[in-house]
Amino acid sequence: MPALDELETPAILVDIDVVEGNVARMAEACRRDGVRLRPHAKTHKSLAIGRLQMAAGAAGLTVAKVGEAEVFAAGGVEDLFVAYPVVGADKGRRLLALAEGIRLAVGADSVEGAATLAGVFRAAGRTLDVLLEIDVGLGRTGVAPAQALDAARAIGSLPGLRLRGIFTHAGHVYVTADGGARTAIGRSEGEVMAAVAEGLRAGGVEVEEVSVGSTPTVPRSRAVAGITEVRPGCYVFHDATQVNLGSCTLDECALTVLATVVSVPARGRAVIDAGSKTLSKDPLAPAGGGFGRIVGRASRLETLTEEHGVIRVAEGEAFRVGERVRVLPNHCCAVVNLHDELVGVRAGRVEERLRVDARGRVQ
Ligand SMILES: Cc1ncc(COP(=O)(O)O)c(C=O)c1O
């Protein structure tokens, strides 16, 4: 393995000790609160890291795409949830093949969508587990809590499907600047879902799984009675947004981008070899500017073009051409999705190369 300062840049560094700490702490907290942990693997898309999460006690993994599920199933993960309203008989046929070998469930939020999968499973004499998605405030997919009973009855009665339960993702926490309001979103994510589950049971619908989660809300929502499963993703690496939201400390951030200063063309400006094709243009949430923090410096990445990252040099700081810097990105999942490989580092030494196995599996 090359030494850290021999790595070509830009390179995506992952501190293995920090990843192991994040994985262990989340697993322990979920055990303590009596909920199953099903980490969202869209953050790392890596078999090696997925296996680490499973070894720490995760019940299974969450993915967003059927293609991601295929990669993780082929890699030995035996319990997967596609937390997405999967629609189409083409996808249904791939799910049918997948369900041969693993315990599988997918999301649904409409009878029309679920029926496209039900038809494939019914024709094969098989049953697919689905979780009805509930919208607890994000305003993306999912039915409103008041519509849950009608939707659950309709979807659950489709031959070829079994309603395993309900799920949600309180992603509106990311655009909420007030810390107290974020705490309330976490609590209500759990409380609304527990109440929906009770309402369904009172209406005669069996609810085995009540699944919630995002990295910022999970400490609150998992503590609510009635929640059975949580699905945080970002916690495995964390990023500048999670620091900003108070989900973690800087020491709990595992992923940084190693970059080289390629130009210092004017006073107050330095340019690195990591632009939007390395860092993504995801903004810092819930507020604040720039495209990443320069580790150990006050200077910020002010603008990005495809291959250039322009640093606004803070008062009293200086950069020189050839110098290497590390950038804590705004959004770790978006960065990983742009790269084939992560460089695993332990105690400042390169230890392994981690493939981003499910990268590009968007179908
Ligand atoms: C459906 C769903 N579940 C879980 C997660 C994980 O949340 P986070 O990225 O905050 O860890 C996401 C994130 O986008 C999601 O969309």
**349 C-alpha to center of ligand 1: Å?**
31
Q: Pick from 234, 186, 227: which is nearest to 208 by CA? A: 227
pLDDT truncated to tens, each residue of the chain (363 aa)?
899 999 999 999 999 999 999 999 999 999 999 999 999 999 999 999 999 999 999 999 999 999 999 999 999 999 999 999 999 999 999 999 999 999 999 999 999 999 999 999 999 999 999 999 999 999 999 999 999 999 999 999 999 999 999 999 999 999 999 999 999 999 999 999 999 999 999 999 999 999 999 999 999 999 999 999 999 999 999 999 999 999 999 999 999 999 999 999 999 999 999 999 999 999 999 999 899 999 999 999 999 999 999 999 999 999 999 999 999 999 999 999 999 999 999 999 999 999 999 999 999
Give phi and psi for 271, each to the nearest 5: -125, 135
Q: Is 287 in a helix, a strand, or coil?
A: coil
From ligand 1's centre to the CA of 29, what distance in Å? 18
- Average predicted confidence (pLDDT) for the chain: 97
Q: How far is the CA of 232 from the CAs of 40, 78, 157, 355, in angstroms?
A: 6, 19, 30, 21
Ligand 1 in contact with 232 (CB < 6 A)?
yes
Ligand 1 center–CA 40 separation, angstroms: 6
Residue whose Cα lies nearest atom 10 of ligand 1: it is 214
Q: Is 46 in the pocket of ligand 1 (CB under 6 A)?
A: no
Top mutation candidate among 23, 35, 40 for ligand 1, by most atoms within 8 Å of CB: 40
Q: State the residue for tokens 């890699």.
A: 75
Distance CA 333, CA 352 (A): 20
Q: SS3 for 95? A: helix
Q: How far is the CA of 162 from the centre of ligand 1 (A)?
A: 24
Instruction: State the Cα–Cα distance between residues 361 and 135, nearest whole angstrom.
Output: 26
186 lines ligand 1 (CB under 6 A): no
Q: What residues contact 298, with CB distance under 8 A and at least 6 apart?
A: 314, 315, 316, 317
